[in-house]
Structure 1
Amino acid sequence: MIPQYGKILYATDLSVNAAHAFRHAISLARHYGAKIHVLHVLPEVDSSVLNYISTVMGEERLVNLELAHKDEITDQIRMRLHQFAKDELADHPEDLEWIADIEVHHGSPVGQILEVADRLDVDLVVVGSHGKGKLKYAFLGSVAEKLLRKSYRPVMVVPLND
């Protein structure tokens, strides 16, 4: 059976070259009439850094600060992603209809991408990959590489030029 893509998860790190992978997701959405679910994951702050800040600020104050700003940051990133899509599709604003939703999560990028892919029951995950140093042609970015190993869904990895 030939695969049909009805739901695509486009996971982005909002890097400068992330638009390249987004264009691939839009092209597939056009071709298949698919909906794109945009996802950005804010990685958790390293526990050693949190421990240090907690020691300096006090644990209760740190928790209150995190709670007060988590929603604000999430909303700002969601608005940034919406603007990113509008800017990228300025020549073809009708393509905005392919975007079903924009989600921002906190946690492990790979874990969150896999969890959202399962929850939405997507047919394809599209991510960009950054080359790393001299071995950039030998190794994918760590998130893309882990997704390829852990996902049972198809994953399209788009090389991003740094």
Structure 2
Amino acid sequence: MLPDVKTILYASDIEEGSRPAFRAAVSMAGHYDATITFLHVIEPLSATARSILKTMMNDADLNEMHDSSVINLKNKLISRIESFCETELDATEAMKEGQIIPRVEEGVADRVILKVANEIGADLIVMGTRTHSSVGQFLLGSTANRVMHHTQKPVLVIPLK
């Protein structure tokens, strides 16, 4: 049995097939009357990519493009959350106004997930994981594995197709 869950961090790559993990987060939120922070992490540009972009645009334009992209992603998250709630939840599962909080952060995914979980005082982290080859899993690990090994918080991992 989980301890009292009032704050859930749902970490999503917002890729196709991630709905089962979000559905699990919504189900847990409904069961515990908890809030969900819907987190999407933007991986930072590599030094090479940033260097190439800097040869084509000045810092002000690069920063404006970055800020615009973050705003667009946050709007996409809000749209996906609203669409999910309208099309997939029935009246008994309906979320309250403000019960889902969209958040976009930049950084290395597992580190950002752990940082945000601590910032918001998450009682539970919910995330999906995609199947990878065992060699790939061994060499690289997965974001879910790294999060599970570096947190004391319960982590609910949902296998995705």
Same fold by TM-score greater than 0.5: yes
User: Displacement of 1:96 after TM fit?
Assistant: 1.8
Question: Under a length normalisation based on structure 2, what TM-score does the superposition of the two structures give?
Answer: 0.81
Quick check: 1:77 aligned with 2:76?
yes
Is the Cα–Cα contact under 8 Å of residues 131 and 141 in structure 1 kept in the other structure?
no
Deviations 1:127-153, CA, capped at 9 Å, x for gaps: 0001113x39x7696211110111121
Are 1:18 and 1:160, in contact at CA under 8 Å, matched by a contact in 2? yes
TM-score, normalised by the number of residues in structure 1? 0.81
Tell me the distance in 2 between the aligned counterparts of 1:60 and 1:100.
Answer: 33
Q: Tell me the equivalent position of 1:41.
A: 41
2:120 is aligned with 1:120: yes
The amino acid across from 1:89 in the alignment is E
1:39-90 deviation digits (Å, cap 9, x = unpaired):
11121111211111112334454234334x2453244233333334324534
- For 1:159 and 1:92, how far apart are their aligned partners in 2? 27
Q: Which amino acid aligns with 1:54?
A: K
Residues in 2 aligned to 1:71 and 1:2: alpha-carbon distance in whole angstroms: 34
Instruction: For residue 14 of structure 1, report the CA deviation from its aligned partner.
Output: 0.6
Q: Which moved more, 1:88-97 or 1:36-45?
A: 88-97
Structure 1 equivalent of residue 95 of structure 2? 96
Whether the aligned pair in 2 keeps the contact of 1:125 and 1:155 (CA below 8 Å) is yes
Matching of residue 31 in structure 1 with residue 31 in structure 2? yes
**Which 5+ residue runs of structure 2 have no aligned equivalent?**
none
- Superposition RMSD in Å: 2.8
Distance 2:37 2:18 in 1: 15
Partner deviation per Cα, 1:82-111 (whole Å, 9 max, x = no partner): 334324534347522283411112222212
In structure 2, what is the Cα distance between the partners aligned to 1:100 and 1:42?
A: 19
Residue in 1 that maps onto 2:131: 131
Where in structure 2 are the equivalents of 1:49-68 lying within 5 Å?
A: 49-67=49-67
